[in-house]
Amino acid sequence: DQQVKQNSPSLSVQEGRISILNCDYTNSMFDYFLWYKKYPAEGPTFLISISSIKDKNEDGRFTVFLNKSAKHLSLHIVPSQPGDSAVYFCAANTGGFKTIFGAGTRLFVKA
Amino acid sequence: DAMVIQNPRYQVTQFGKPVTLSCSQTLNHNVMYWYQQKSSQAPKLLFHYYDKDFNNEADTPDNFQSRRPNTSFCFLDIRSPGLGDAAMYLCATSISNEQFFGPGTRLTVL
């Protein structure tokens, strides 16, 4: 049972444009959501997060939006840069130590 | 730099031959995790430690064991690896919601 789903395995975007990565979840008990970024041969690194009491969190070029009624969150990267090319994992937890990850979306930013 | 270190980065073992993967951290985090990730799939939590308290996921096979002798080190033991256990194994630490991952150990089973 996939509680966190990233339905797009890959996304290709032109440098300077917006990248939008999407994530859906099924467990209404999730109250904290995170995005991780992974480069080849490295472990995932934390990028940005959002609590369920908010609907938006912004950090520089990265913004996460949360739509609780739709059980959907998205990561916006503006402007996209070639160095943003990586796999992005959506993750969620219920405030405990168990975090559920999505399968990831591979982002290609073309120069 | 504070970090999570995994050794070895690549491990080859034979079918049925026990193997141990290691993880160490300099972050002094009290929670440590082991994940299994197969190609194009989500990282799957195998177990985690909160200090010395061990928490096994219900669907983690008995073939997988773990040890945490101290705060800094955590080991993953696979007692009798099968071909289906070939994967990337990720170690992570945390003190809150965000987790800090090591680079992973890629296990090949021949």
Which of A41, A97, A99 is closest, CB to CB, to B103? A41
Does the beta-carbon distance from B45 to A98 stay under 8 Å? yes
Percent of chain A with pLDDT over 90: 92
CA of A102 vs chain B CAs: smallest distance (Å): 5
Report the SS3 class of residue A83.
helix
Does the beta-carbon distance from A101 to B55 stay under 8 Å? no
With a CB cutoff of 8 Å and minimum separation 6, the contacts of A59 are A48
Residue in the block written with tokens 């912004």: A58
Does the beta-carbon distance from B102 to A4 stay under 8 Å? no
Per-residue pLDDT, A69: 96
**Intra-chain end-to-end CA distance of chain A, in Å:** 38
Instruction: Give per-residue pLDDT as tens, A19-28.
Output: 999 999 999 9
Q: Are the C-beta atoms of residues A85 and A28 closer than 8 Å to each other?
A: no
Instruction: Give per-residue pLDDT as tens, B47-96.
Output: 999 999 999 999 999 999 999 999 999 999 999 999 999 999 999 999 88
CA distance A71 to A25: 5
Per-residue pLDDT, B95: 87
